Structure formats: structure tokens, C-alpha cells
Amino acid sequence: MASTKPLHLEITIISAKHLKNVNWRNGDLKPYATFYLDNSDHHLATHADDSLSTRPVWNERFTIPMIRPDSVLTLDVFHSKPSETPKPLVGTVKFPLSQILDSGESTSYSVRSLELLRPSGRPQGKVLVKLEVKERPLPPPVQDYHTAPNYSHYYNPAPAPAPPPARDYRGILSLPHTATPISTVTTLPTILHNLPLPSQPLYNQSIP
């Protein structure tokens, strides 16, 4: 898998077998595994196996970023004993991750049984691991809060309706124009007296 994007290693430390009990003088073996990439000081570790067996089972998964595609995985198995520092070493294995990347497989993962070695080079058991190289997901884009977002495509209010036209009440009730102006104190009999008489009779026949 050739990729220019950042990568990370997903590793599952499954189990080990045929480990030598380096604690044989004091009791049973209580192994745990640690690992790191290249010469990094960032070490990760499994829990100690409480079965007190030379065939421990961990089944623990970790994710660690890769600085470069040709990184080398270093895995150590120790015996857990709080009273002793440093812990007794069972064995070490170094595995180049380029063996997975250069395999040509599209998935770029592999289940490997890696042989542990003593510092002298003598075999000291095997550890079963699942290794998978993945592209590291990019962080989400940062929202720029200095510029107000444009919400015009979400909400576009309609223009407010025009107000109704003002009604003209001058033609509804009007009095005939008279030569004599009507004073504000003019009484109703005076107004009726000044009204002009109709030119035609109101009725065509007289009342019997």
C-alpha cells in the first residue's frame, strides 16, 4: 500500500507461547508485553497475564502513529514483579513494517507469529500479533468565526405587504352648498330652512 498520507499502526497483541520462566527461582511467570516504534520514548504495554502461565493470552489492541513508512516495531516481553526494577526480560523481537507495506496487498494487514530472542540471540518463545497499517484520518476543518456565516440560502423572507390605501370619506356624507355659511353654533332648524326646495314635487298624486 503506497500512500503519501499520514499513517498509523493498529496492533493487536494476541498471545504468546513457549516462553521461558525467567522467574523460576521465585515462582511462576507473570508476563506482559511492551512495544514502540523506532527509537521513540513513547512505549505502550499490555496488562500482566494473571494465569501464571508460559502461554499468556492478552488480546489487547493499540493504535500508534507512524513517523515514516519504514518504521521498525520493537516488542519486548517482561516478567511483572513489583519488587524488581528493571523487570526481568523474557525476549525481544524487531519487525520492519515495510514487510507489510511492500507486500502488495490492498488491506495492508497481517497476522504474524514473531520469534522472541534473548540478548544473546537464543530463541525464547513466540508472540502472536495482528498488524494493520492504515491511513490516519485528517482532522476536521476549523470553522472561521471571524466572518459571519451567510444564511441567505436557508431563509429568504418575503417583502412586507404594502399598507392599504387610505379611504376617502368626503363623498359619503356631504351637505349642499349654501350661500350662507354654516356656523359651528347653527341649529338644525336653521340648516333645514336654508336648504333649497326641490324643483319637482315629491309625489305625483295628491293625498285624498
Cα–Cα distance, 78 to 116 (Å, whole number): 11
Report the pLDDT averaged over residues 88-107. Answer: 82
Domain ranges of the chain: 7-135
Peptide linkage before 86 cis (omega within 30 of 0): yes
pLDDT at residue 79, as a whole number: 93
Position 108 scores a pLDDT of: 65
CATH code: domain 7-135 is 2.60.40.150
How far apart, in whole angstroms, are the C-alpha atoms of residue 170 and residue 175?
10
Torsion-angle region of 18 (φ positive above 0: left; ψ -120 to 50: alpha; else: beta)? left
Convert the pLDDT of each residue in 106-144 to its tens digit.
556 789 999 999 989 999 999 999 999 888 777 777 766
Sheet of 123-135, strands arranged across:
44-45, 31-37, 72-79, 89-96, 109-117, 123-135, 7-17, 57-66
C-alpha cell at 174: 356631504
pLDDT at 140: 74
Q: What is the helix (H) or strand (E) element at residue 101, kind and residue range?
A: helix 98-101
The separation between the first and the last C-alpha atoms of the chain, rounded to the nearest angstrom, is 124
CB 11 within 8 A of CB 62: yes
For residue 89, pLDDT beyond 70: yes
For residue 132, which of 1, 34, 41 has the smallest C-alpha distance?
1
Least confident residue range of 56-70, 115-129, 191-205: 191-205
pLDDT confidence of residue 113: 96
Q: Whose grid coordinates read 359619503?
A: 172
Q: What rounded mean pLDDT belongs to the chain? A: 78
Cβ-based neighbour number of residue 86 at 10 Å: 6
Higher pLDDT among residues 83 and 45, named by residue: 45
Q: How confident is the model at residue 56 (pLDDT cuts 50, 70, 90)?
A: very high
Q: What is the mean pLDDT of residues 74-96?
A: 88
DSSP 8-class letter at 47: P
Average pLDDT of the segment spanning 149-157:
52
Band the pLDDT of 42: cuts 50, 70, 90.
confident
Three-class SS of residue 27?
A: coil
pTM of the complete model beyond 0.85: no
Angle (nearest 5°) at CA 186 between 184 and 190: 155
